[in-house]
Amino acid sequence: MKVAPLRYDVIFKKAFSNVELFKALVKDFLGIENLKIDKVENDKAFFPPVGKVNLKFDL
């Protein structure tokens, strides 16, 4: 079995854009069993941009 790291955006989208797989993930992580959704949205963008965002995080 091949395993791909989920840190890559494309792989994560392919894995969890399926509604049933996403519901199972939410159930396992959050314990929500009756999630009712029709579509999993992966990307969000605001046009025009809401504001400037610093993408660098210092830990």
Interval 1-58: pLDDT, tens: 777 776 777 777 777 788 998 899 899 999 999 999 999 887 766 667 667 765 554 5
User: What are the distances in angstroms from CA 29 to CA 25, 26, 50, 55?
Assistant: 6, 5, 30, 26
Q: Are 35 and 21 in contact (CB under 8 A)?
A: no
Tell whether pTM > 0.75: no
Sketch the domain layout of the chain as residue ranges.
Answer: 8-57
Q: Are 12 and 6 in contact (CB under 8 A)?
A: yes
Q: Is the peptide bond before 48 cis (omega within 30 degrees of 0)?
A: yes
